[in-house]
Chain A
Amino acid sequence: MKLIAAMSGGVDSAVAAARAHEAGHDVIGVHLALSSNPQKYRSGARGCCTIEDSHDARRAADVIGIPFYIWDMAEEFHEGVVENFIAEYAAGRTPNPCLRCNEKIKFEAVLDRARAMGFDGVVTGHYAITREGEMGKTLHRAIDETKDQSYVLSVLTIEQIAGAIFPLGDTTKVDVRKEAKARGLYVANKPDSHDICFIPSGDNASWLHERLGRKVGPIVDQDGEQIGEHKGAYTYTIGQRKGLGLSVPTIDGSPRFVLKVEPMTNTVVVGPREDLAVSRMIGEKTVWCGLAVGPERNRGFVQIRAHGKPLPCTYYFENDALIAELDEPLLGLATGQQMAIYDGDRVVGSATICETQQ
């Protein structure tokens, strides 16, 4: 096959590209320039697409022996990921930008472009497995549980999965690093990237303050009584306990948690821990990674964070909404998070949480 290998400059995508090349595919390495004003160097584990990263990617491609190009996706990234991130926070939701990047950039902008140029698919260093079956190509968890990235890929449609190649799903991260070293790739010991790549400082709240302002608003209890003040409701996350700066203690001294963020009224609602409990979640903008699900009740698992635990649940699709009913209530679930449904290790589909119920 003719493949585009998306190369971030990290160890995973380098080994993925090397494996695809070794398997006999005609591979071209592509580094995505996602910032129109890249930083020169990486600082620690944060950020990506610095000039240093693009150099690392190019060097890896040269060592592997494949052509290498840089694609400017800064505009697409800004519109599809960064602006979405800001808008979601402004609306009181908690988005996952990596998921949007996979959805809008790697497996939309890049895959579409690759296909139009006559390529068959896109290789990435994601830890996930695809399998050919009755439903066509389906998405599954990687064998390395600690690195499994099927959650951030759960937004891919069947067409997108059909064009995705994940050569690392059957390998542990430890072995990927060993293999990189054996292949003479100097990124073998490069630290993993964490956090949000477009906020290199790692200080999400300040970054959001700069863009959304610091509009002071009330922190209220469940009766609507003001017990504190905040500087921008959007910087609070459901379930958050620290940094509330409340002056009025509870009668029994028990801690209070953020229960709700209301951007329209710029209000943060706090309450006791037990009121965080969620046993039913409703998702919109559902994507199926295989056959669509109907109103019949299915048993499976739901995952709500990139490295969260799979939670046993009953799920179904009704009135354009994906619904998951948890066996055990969950504390602290924010709207805007993605709910990914699993049948065993297979990703069934996912949706953006728009409502939670006790």
Chain B
Amino acid sequence: MPVYLDHAATTPMADVAIKAMTEQLAKLGNPSSLHVYGRDARKDLEGAREEIAVALDCHPTEIIFTASGTEANNTALKGLYWKGQAVGRNVVVISAIEHHAILDPAQWLKDHEGAEVIEIGVDSNGVIHLDELEDLISRRADEIAVISIMSANNETGVIQPIQKVAELAHSGSIPVHSDAVQSFGKEPLSFSQLGLTAMSVSAHKLGGPIGVGALVLRKGYDVPALLHGGGQERDIRSGTFNAPAIMAFAAAVKETFLDFADRNARVRRLRERLENGILECVPEAYVNGAKVERLPGIVNVTIPGTESETLLLLLDNEGIACSTGSACTAGVQRPSHVLLAMGHGERTARSSIRFSIGATTTESDVDLALHILPAVMERARMANLR
């Protein structure tokens, strides 16, 4: 079996999640129905919602189930923008390193809804410039409809100071959303303590199934819906509840938080083993965001003199699955906007790959990768010199 080191893309479903999903699939009942079948399904569903609310430290009614993290991001960003726009606020503030599920809806708001989008830059470690944000808020607080800053970056794993962002925004009464898709289950997240207005999470990044996510949205901040219909989820997200996926989501969350600290400490140790091993065999390589706090499982490394698309092909061929973590255009790897924002040139941005470790990764996985890497890097260098 090839070694899987791409857990930030998606991670295997937990056994408990598969079990919960399978059991629910066999059950009849639309949770919105009033009869006994509906009541049973509703009971299961609300139990799952409460389970997830505990992990996120939010009120269960603040959870709006969606079909993906992307949907949660779109609902939050567009919804909060429209709310702001209604009272004369048309500025959307995001960071330069957001996932495309924030970058693209922001661009859409600019192109179609009259938004002014302002990107906050990051330093060479990949952490947003808080002073830039503070300055912006001090000048234009009244114009800002929404601030959206991810809680940790998906390519580098670098953790962002979202609590401070929320504090700054609070002074100007500006709603703050955070894309926490990558960090849920990997760093402690307390929705209530962070002081956020909204937060997006996704099930498949922590052992749940693909096709279910959630938007945590503070009470009193109800936003216009993207999907209109049966009025489910506070009328913000209509559509029949995907009970099997939601049950599995809750089961995965429960398991993750049962041994949260140990699990992440183990992942971190494996990450460090991989990281140190890479730096040892390729001394000129460097880890992006190495100096600051990162999620435990992600290592983004620049290997000068190589091209990421060559590295990926050769690693795949040798049975190591990893990625760059950045989106591709028509299948062509583009230099990562995250690394460019951190001050990389196109060349070094194109020489970077991401390994991501998860709960199922073993020491021998890491050692096999380290065993294969030197020869692959040598070949990738040769191919680059051609």
Contacts and interface: CB of A to CB of B under 8 A. Distances in A.
Contacts of A72: 309, 332-333
A67 to B, nearest CB: 6
A38 interface: yes
Nearest to B384: A116
B317 A67 contact: yes
B313 A28 contact: yes
A207 B333 CA distance: 29
A67 B313 contact: yes
A112 interface: yes
Interface stretch (B41-49, B262-270, B375-383): B375-383
Contacts of B379: 116-118
Contact of A117 (B328, B331, B333, B382): B382
A69 interface: yes
In this complex, the interface size class of chain A, counting residues with CB under 8 Å from chain B, is 10 to 19
Contact of A51 (B317, B330, B386): B330
B365 interface: no
Interface in A102-118: 109, 112-113, 116-118
B377 to A, nearest CB: 12
Nearest to A38: B330
A112 B386 contact: yes
In this complex, the interface size class of chain B, counting residues with CB under 8 Å from chain A, is 10 to 19
Contacts, number: 47
B310 interface: yes
Contacts of B295: none
A31 B331 CA distance: 9
A280 interface: no
B312 A117 contact: no
Interface string A68-83: 0111101000000000
B330 A117 contact: no
Contacts of B313: 28, 67, 69, 117
A117 B309 contact: no
A54 B328 CA distance: 13
Contacts of B380: 117
Contacts of B309: 69-72
A109 B310 CA distance: 14
Nearest to A68: B331
A65 B25 CA distance: 32
B116 interface: no
18 contacts: A33-B332, A38-B330, A54-B330, A67-B313, A67-B316, A70-B328, A70-B330, A70-B331, A70-B332, A72-B309, A72-B332, A109-B386, A113-B383, A116-B386, A117-B313, A117-B379, A117-B380, A118-B314
- Give 7 closest A-B pairs by Cβ, nearest first: A70-B331, A116-B383, A116-B382, A112-B386, A72-B332, A117-B383, A33-B332
Interface of B: 309-310, 312-314, 316-317, 328, 330-333, 379-380, 382-386
